[in-house]
Amino acid sequence: MSAEQIIGAWKKKQFKPVYWLEGDEEYYIDLVMDYAEHQILDESEAGFNRTIFYGRDADWSAVVNACRRYPMFAERQVVLLKEAQQMRDIDKLTGYIENPLSSTVFVVSHKEKTVDGRSALSKLLKKKAELFVSKKIYDSKLPEWTMEMVQAKGFSIAQKALMLLVDHIGNDLSRLSNEVDKLVLNLGGEKLITEDDIEKYVGVSKEYNVFELQDALGKRDLARAIKIIRYFEGNPKAAPIQMVLPALYNYFSKAAMLFGLPGKDDKSIAAAIGVNPYFLRDYQVVARNYNYAGIEQVLLLLHAYNLKGVGINDAGTSDASLLREMVVKMMG
């Protein structure tokens, strides 16, 4: 079951005795845990029937004893074990998971990693628990995910505003969700999120950002690229080199992929290189302006300057100076 399916079943009062949430994407784990904590029981029931443990401080026997209690003045009780990856002797929960109490909803969050698939606990979870594995989504899916989240709230977002937001936040679903919530709260009666809104409420300049630097490089506009880098120099937190270089590498890598594709319609080509069809033309411009050999040279430069950015083959040159030097070589 997905996180949405688990919550959907709970809304229908359909419960299983044990839910085990694990994986390296915290957003969905937190989503389910938050619902379990605040929505399964009403306020009058929660005082007697909700127990919360944290893995670092929890003793396995105390957790099991709490799970084996019967609810008071309610149909069920809820026991939550948060940060279970930090719990000692976690494998000793197997006795309870093997034979859980039907009136207890036991929900475990095990973040950052999954339980060793070879362990007895892992094998038991697959048989006896509702096991949900929360995986990181691919970077290429972030715009689609964010768009769907915005639409689910009854709003829409301009394509460029969407890319500004995603490029600025990166693969952090919790932060993306929080920023969208902030935008929605501040829009008033408007229903469309624009670049101006991203600049005003998220703090991303609509003129000076990684997205605009990509565009300047793709069009071989050296003056504009240098102007953007100068802004980065005065605002170091806006776009640190460790964020800029991977974004540029991804951008030019996708453009390079165009040379190996057979002639197809734009939608198929965009899907093949993992971009929104709306932005396909930008990558086609890069391909025309640099050709394959030029893009290959750009990728080699990005690799070399990534090493310099972490101090390899470089004696402390500033990030802005490295970027300026790199873009001049790219366009040379």
In order, the DSSP letters of 279-304 are: GHHHHHHHHHHHHHHHHHHHHHHHHH
Tally of domains within the chain: 3
Q: Are residues 267 and 189 in the same domain?
A: no
Residue 12, pLDDT score = 96
Query: Which of the given ranges, 201-210, 231-240, 267-276, 296-305, has the highest pLDDT on average?
Result: 296-305
Residue 254, pLDDT score = 93
The model's pTM: 0.78
The backbone torsions φ and ψ at residue 265, rounded to the nearest 5 degrees and listed phi first, read -75, 160
Residue with tokens 């964010």: 146
Centroid of chain to Cα 257: 25
User: Looking at 202, 218, 248, which one is the last position of a domain?
Assistant: 202
Residue 237, pLDDT score = 82
**Where in the sequence is the domain holding 316, given as residue range(s)?**
210-331
Q: Are residues 130 and 144 in the same domain?
A: no
Q: Are residues 18 and 80 in the same domain?
A: yes
Q: Are residues 34 and 90 in the same domain?
A: yes
224 pLDDT more than 90: yes
What span, in angstroms and rounded, lies between the C-alpha atoms of 173 and 322?
31
Q: Are residues 167 and 271 in the same domain?
A: no
Confidence tier at 92 by pLDDT (50, 70, 90): very high
CATH assignment of the domain containing 103: 3.40.50.300
Confidence tier at 87 by pLDDT (50, 70, 90): very high
Give mean pLDDT, residues 104-124.
92
Q: Are residues 219 and 260 in the same domain?
A: yes
Per residue, the 3-state secondary structure of the chain, as one string, reads CCHHHHHHHHHCCCCCCEEEEEECCHHHHHHHHHHHHHCCCCHHHHHHHEEEEECCCCCHHHHHHHHCCCCCCCCCEEEEEECHHHCCCHHHHHHHHHCCCCCEEEEEEEECCCCCCCCHHHHHHHHHCEEEEECCCCHHHHHHHHHHHHHHCCCEECHHHHHHHHHHHCCCHHHHHHHHHHHHHHCCCCCEECHHHHHHHHCCCCCCCHHHHHHHHHCCCHHHHHHHHHHHHHCCCCCCHHHHHHHHHHHHHHHHHHHHCCCCCHHHHHHHHCCCHHHHHHHHHHHHHHHHHHHHHHHHHHHHHHHHHCCCCCCCCCHHHHHHHHHHHHHC
Residue 178, pLDDT score = 94
20 pLDDT more than 90: yes
Q: Are residues 25 and 130 in the same domain?
A: yes
Q: Are residues 33 and 120 in the same domain?
A: yes
Residue 275, pLDDT score = 85
User: Looking at 202, 219, 246, which one is the last position of a domain?
Assistant: 202
